[in-house]
Amino acid sequence: MSSDSSPYGNPETRQRILSKAWELLEERGSSFRLVDVADAAGVSRQAVYLHFGDRAGLLVALVDHVDEGFGAAKLRAHVFGAPTGVESLRRWVDTMSWYTGKIDRLTQVLEANQYDDEALAAGWRNRMNRRQAMLLAMTERIAGEGRLRAGWSVAAAADLIYAVTMPGPWRELTRHLRWSEQQYSDAVWRLLEAGLLLGSEAGDAEAG
């Protein structure tokens, strides 16, 4: 409970920098420069360093900033508030597809730089670990409802769902193969449902 949460300087300045950094990242991608961020925010280049330490620090801070901006907490509540585990997973896939689209540019940069930047890697891992934990919880719930297909352990199923729904495949399908986010969501859901779940009472019959 120490005060390491008081970052530095004027919070409004901090917000301005983050907002402009976000905009620049959206349009310039991973090649956005700190000097541009500073200029856009109407602040000196050093101010950025004072607030965030370095480039990686800015990126990491950006993650929380956009999560807050997009109401990630509420989205999570909606997902977990589903009446059943299966429905929860369905909502998750849907929400994730939408959300991934919103922050894909940032995700790209994080992924691309996680290998030569320690701090960035940690930030990315942290995010992904939380996602894993969420999916494990959902999968446990699904298993508890007796809807996990025979032959799958909860852990294995959760890991596989996690891996298959990473940003990479999403990006490939929507950005390069021109699927809509909804198509992605539907197809992935169908795949997971048919591959990992059991029908509630009726079989897997579907309209032909």
Closest CA to 45 of 27, 64, 58: 58
Comparing CB distances to its own copies, the nearer of 22 and 162 is: 162
Alpha-carbon dihedral 64, 66, 71, 73, rounded to 10 degrees? -20
Per-residue binder mask for its own copies (CB under 8 A), 133-162, x = binder: ----------------xxx----x--xx-x
Closest CA to 136 of 164, 159, 120, 170: 159
How many angstroms separate the CA atoms of 39 and 21, rounded? 10
Cβ atoms of residues 108 and 29 within 8 Å = yes
Report the nearest approach of DNA to the CB of residue 44 (Å). Answer: 3
Q: Kindly state whether residue 55 participates in binding DNA, applying the rule CB under 7 A.
A: yes
Q: For residue 143, what are the contacts with CB-CB under 8 A and spacing of at least 6? A: 85, 154, 157
Report the site for its own copies in 180-199 (rule: CB under 8 A).
Answer: 187-188, 190-196
Q: Retrieve residue 140's tokens.
A: 């446990």
Among 29, 44, 64, 126, binds DNA (CB under 7 A): 44
Comparing CB distances to its own copies, the nearer of 154 and 160 is: 160
Cβ atoms of residues 186 and 170 within 8 Å = no
Comparing CB distances to DNA, the nearer of 42 and 71 is: 42
Comparing CB distances to DNA, the nearer of 35 and 77 is: 35
Q: For residue 67, what are the contacts with CB-CB under 8 A and spacing of at least 6? A: 73
Comparing CB distances to DNA, the nearer of 9 and 144 is: 9
Residues facing 197 on adjacent strands: 148
Footprint of its own copies (CB under 8 A): 29-31, 108-109, 111-113, 115-116, 128, 149-151, 156, 159-160, 162-164, 166-170, 172-173, 177, 179, 187-188, 190-196, 206, 208
Footprint of DNA (CB under 7 A): 8-10, 12-13, 33-35, 42-47, 49-51, 53-56
